């Protein structure tokens, strides 16, 4: 049976390292990193994410600021708030919870965020920096995938990595990060021919698709490491719902060498990496070396 890669435990350790770094910044540099999260509208899932982000930010000792705006907020008013946060020295990281209401241009909003405070790593300049391999603020979920892989496998050099999914928030950035780790990277997507055969070539398989249990056991090379990014809510018994991934966990865990569960794998890493990005952003803004352990 495959080893279970425990993202929940790794994320807890990372949050504790972030808290140590925050305490060091406050004690030695009088810098208390601040994260502002902006939510527009009343989407229930987004409200849960924002609440969790705020709670975990405060638990590490950072300043957590939430801006909850009504769904009918104009693009102009949202851009004005971002401008204010860009110029607020107490705010080191700005995150605008996506998706935004349809009347607001998402890319215009993201690209208005001060690139040095773009802790989601979605600003076009951070995307460009990542693609040419220079230091940038890296998107949180992809960064979490790489931390789990390196923790489990050590050096990733020369591994065949297959990423299923080519979205701007997961598939493409995780592919760039795997390339930076010297993997041989294949990006597969909805138009890939013979996806099972492509997946069978993978020493590392990252599934970021959004299709429940798409990846079957016989798509997996024996001993491969599987990172399941998918979060799919499905109907369960008794009118309840439960979360499953993009990989058929029961089948895959009989073939793979290691696998992330859903929930409890990649999911908890996202907020932990957001907190880490906020500390990194604060250090860079103040010319402080990034603490070891981050």
What tokens appear for 73 in the block? 């907020």
In the chain, what is the straight-line distance between the N-terminal and C-terminal CA atoms, in Å? 31
Q: Which stretch binds ligand NAD (CB under 6 A): 38-46, 61-69, 79-87, 209-217?
A: 209-217
Pinpoint the alpha helices (H) of 60-206: 75-86, 106-110, 124-132, 140-153, 171-180, 195-200
Closer residue to ligand NAD in complex, CB, 31/271: 271
**Residue whose C-beta lies closest to ligand NAD:** 167
**Maximum CA pair distance of the chain?**
56
Confirm whether 251 is a catalytic residue.
Answer: no
Catalytic position from the list 117, 118, 120, 248? 120
Closer residue to ligand NAD in complex, CB, 126/141: 141
Confirm whether 194 is a catalytic residue.
Answer: no
Q: Contact between 189 and ligand NAD (CB under 6 A)?
A: yes
Q: Contact between 167 and ligand NAD (CB under 6 A)?
A: yes
* Nearest by Cα to 14 from 49, 56, 63: 56
Find the binder of ligand NAD among 34, 93, 121, 165 (CB under 6 A).
165
User: What is the three-state SS of 202-268?
Assistant: CCEEEECCCCCCCECHHHCCCCCEEEECCCEEEECHHHCEEEECCECHHHHCCCCCEECCCCCCCHH
Q: Which stretch binds ligand NAD (CB under 6 A): 16-24, 57-65, 165-173, 216-224?
A: 165-173
State the minimum distance, in angstroms, from the CB of residue 90 to ligand NAD: 27
Separation of CA 29 from chain center = 28
State the minimum distance, in angstroms, from the CB of residue 266 to ligand NAD: 4
Q: Contact between 211 and ligand NAD (CB under 6 A)?
A: yes
Hey, is 100 helix, strand or coil? coil
Q: Which residues are marked as active site?
A: 53, 97, 120
Residues in the site for ligand NAD, rule: CB under 6 A? 141, 164-167, 169-171, 189-190, 195, 208-211, 214, 229-232, 266-267, 270
């Amino acid at each position: 049976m495959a080893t279970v890669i425990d993202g929940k435990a790794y994320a807890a350790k990372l949050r504790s390292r972030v808290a140590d770094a925050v305490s060091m910044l406050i004690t030695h540099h009088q810098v208390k990193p601040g994260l502002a999260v902006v939510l527009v509208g009343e989407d229930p899932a987004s409200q849960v994410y924002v609440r969790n982000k705020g709670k975990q930010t405060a638990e590490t000792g950072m300043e957590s600021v939430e801006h909850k705006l009504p769904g009918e907020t104009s693009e102009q008013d949202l851009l004005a708030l971002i401008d204010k946060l860009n110029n607020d020295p107490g705010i080191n990281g700005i995150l605008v919870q996506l998706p935004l209401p349809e009347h607001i241009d998402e890319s215009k909003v993201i690209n208005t965020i001060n690139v040095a405070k773009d802790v989601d790593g979605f600003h076009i300049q951070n995307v460009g920096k990542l693609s040419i391999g220079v230091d940038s603020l890296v998107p949180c979920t992809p960064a979490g995938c790489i931390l789990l892989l390196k923790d489990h496998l050590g050096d990733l050099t020369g591994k065949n990595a297959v990423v299923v999914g080519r979205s701007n928030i997961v598939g493409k950035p995780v592919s760039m990060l795997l390339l930076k780790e010297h993997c041989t990277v294949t990006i597969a997507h909805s138009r890939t021919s013979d996806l099972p055969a492509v997946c069978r070539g993978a020493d590392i398989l990252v599934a970021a698709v959004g299709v429940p249990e798409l990846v079957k056991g016989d798509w997996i090379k024996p001993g491969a490491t599987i990172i399941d990014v998918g979060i799919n809510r499905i109907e369960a018994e008794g009118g309840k719902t439960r979360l499953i991934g993009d990989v058929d966990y029961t089948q895959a865990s009989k073939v793979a060498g290691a696998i992330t569960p859903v929930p409890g794998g990649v999911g908890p890493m996202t907020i932990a990496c957001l907190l880490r990005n906020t500390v990194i952003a604060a250090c860079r803004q103040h010319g402080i070396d990034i603490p070891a352990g981050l």
